[in-house]
A = this chain, B = another copy of it.
Amino acid sequence: MSTTPPKVLALSGGVGGAKLALGLQGILDPARLAIVVNTGDDFDHLGLRICPDLDTLMYTLSGLSNETLGWGQHDESWQFLNALERFGLETWFGLGDRDLATHVVRTTKLAAGETLSSVTASMMQALGIDVTVIPMSDNTVATEIQCQDGRTLAFQHYFVRDRCEPRIADIQFSGIDTAKRAPALEALLATDELSAVIVCPSNPFVSVAPILELDGTWQILRDLACPVVLVSPIVGGQALKGPAAKMMQELNMPSSAAAVAEFYQARYPGLVAGFVLDTVDSAQSDAVRALGMTPLVTQTVMTSVADKQALARDVLAFSEAL
């Protein structure tokens, strides 16, 4: 293997981000790709430490993901969950029999004193993944949804149990003030060998924000020599997956690609150099340009493997040209 350090850093949440990450994995030398993953969605459930975004990355990059469900593993079964129900325990979180092994392995290793970084690295390796996948932090950061009805919900309660139905007033990241970047991310940011930073099409508020706001990560990324390129998670006014568009409405933003660009520019000024919009949103290029970002209009909806690799190529070429 090459000793060349990874040169492309991708920031990812769950499903949408994992698709582009898979595209990048398909076209880059493994040693050239590092993916830093949101851990704000992580939670403890039935005594297990569950890291939904890391799991989505792991299943996607190893070919284990369930394309039909859009989450979890293919050929999954539910005997555990059915048995659990007989004992009256909460079954709202879909723990498949295969998926359960992931949580048990992680929980066991964490309980033995391993860091989440170390556990993640060994688990990815066990499934044959040779790109670098880094949890954003080895410390606990917990995304909490403040609802318009006054309740505060742990993210998975909002997202899975309550199916994103509560209207959002605000979002906070408990623990983010003291959490540190994972050592591998810290080391990567300290090199001058990054050629591109790609923000995958993930939810700005709950998937990307925790990474960016962790210990000033966004300022460090802004000040790197290489450009930060962001792929809009909103296409034609809709999120392809998840509650991003609904959240934007509830947070009094239009649910548009341009509004995503506006959000980033307001909250992380100067961070995003290049903004990738879908062809259906080409009319918003000027609005993006007016914010000081360079727009790229291309096909961003990733259905096939070819789509994912094509977008990865477009984004990398765009980044090089910036």
Contacts and interface: CB of A to CB of B under 8 A. Distances in A.
Contacts of A82: 98
Contacts of A89: 104-105, 108
Chain B CB within 10 Å, residue with most, of A76, A83, A111, A123: A83
| Chain A interface SS verdict (over half) | helix
Q: Chain A interface: which size bin?
A: 20 to 34
A98 B123 contact: no
A105 B87 contact: yes
A127 B86 CA distance: 7
Contact of A98 (B46, B47, B80): B80
A193 interface: no
A48 B222 CA distance: 45
B87 A126 contact: yes
A265 interface: no
A317 interface: no
A105 to B, nearest CB: 4
A88 B119 CA distance: 12
Nearest to A99: B83
Given A47-B47, A77-B77, A84 B101 contact: yes
A-B complex: 6 closest residue pairs judged by Cβ atoms = A83-B101, A79-B97, A97-B97, A83-B98, A84-B101, A87-B105
Interface of A: 46-48, 73, 76-77, 79-84, 86-89, 96-102, 104-105, 107-108, 111, 123, 126-127
